[in-house]
Amino acid sequence: MLINNIEQGYILTPDHTKIPFLPEHFDPHYWQQKNAIVGTKEGRATAWFFRHDNQVSVLKHYWRGGMVGKLLSDQYLFQGLKNTRVYKEFLLLCELEQQGLPVPSPVAAKISRSYCIYRGDLITAAITGATSLCEVLQTREISLSQLNKVAQTIAQFHRAGVYHADLNINNILFNEAGEVYLIDFDRGELRTPSLSWQKHNMDRLRRSFYKEAGKWPTFYFTDNNWEQLHLAYKQALACL
């Protein structure tokens, strides 16, 4: 990873990067003025999709959640660059991509400092034709082969010791070829493989199915779907 010092902060890029990134590249208004915005996606905050250097990338700003987020919004206590959530997620993405795991390629990140406070932004390569597992379940029943692909992908990450802090059905994507990716590794980390944290991850994923099922007028998910996915996950975990 390359660390570039800028006024009041840092810009991070992968070692192999050939594209220089400037502070303004982390402002969606910059890309709007360039007519480069090709899409947006709403979540806790807006993710901006923009085209640059023949590639579509995704820009996200780091926002706090929960009650703390209502008070501090996007402000975090600066305790050194390597302790920032931005640095940790960017480094983890670089490591996972090097291992060949299906994650969005890290493009660049920015940490902006103001005294003891920092704010962060992350740019990753967009996954072509991405559709979340949640979006799939809103439109149709999921096939057994798709459930197996999801299960096998999660098992692949778990065998590699990858802890995903927010494993849910919005963070599991199918690309246009039907391959499965995991996204959003904020607060994720590499750990020694353990049934304890792996179970915690799977319990969180299970809760997300039922949480989303309660939000949408149509949602094609059953207890049997979960049993199929969980069984395929355990089989893949044992065989990898």
C-alpha 240 chain-centroid distance? 23
3-state class (DSSP) for residue 35: coil
Amino acid, single-letter form, for residue 103:
V
- 7 and 118 co-located in one domain: yes
- 118 and 8 co-located in one domain: yes
- 21 and 112 co-located in one domain: yes
Q: Which CATH number belongs to the domain containing residue 77 in this structure? A: 3.30.200
Q: For the chain, list residues with pLDDT below 50.
A: 68-69
Q: State the pLDDT at residue 46.
A: 84
Q: State the pLDDT at residue 72.
A: 63
Calculate the CA dihedral of residues 131, 132, 138, 139 and round it to 10 degrees. 20
C-alpha 103 chain-centroid distance? 8
- 145 and 109 co-located in one domain: no
* Structural domain harbouring 186: 131-239
3-state class (DSSP) for residue 16: coil
Q: Which CATH number belongs to the domain containing residue 171 in this structure? A: 1.10.510.10
In which element (H, E) is residue 109 found? strand 106-114
**Bridging pattern class, strands 55-61 and 106-114:** unpaired
Q: State the pLDDT at residue 19.
A: 75
- 60 and 153 co-located in one domain: no
Q: State the pLDDT at residue 64.
A: 84
Q: Is 166 part of the annotated catalytic residue set?
A: yes
- Catalytic residue selected from 27, 74, 121, 166: 166
CA distance 9 to 21: 13
CB contact set of 153 (below 8 Å; sequence gap of 6+): 102, 172, 180, 181, 182
Write down the mean pLDDT value for the chain. Answer: 93
CA distance 105 to 97: 7
Q: State the pLDDT at residue 69.
A: 43
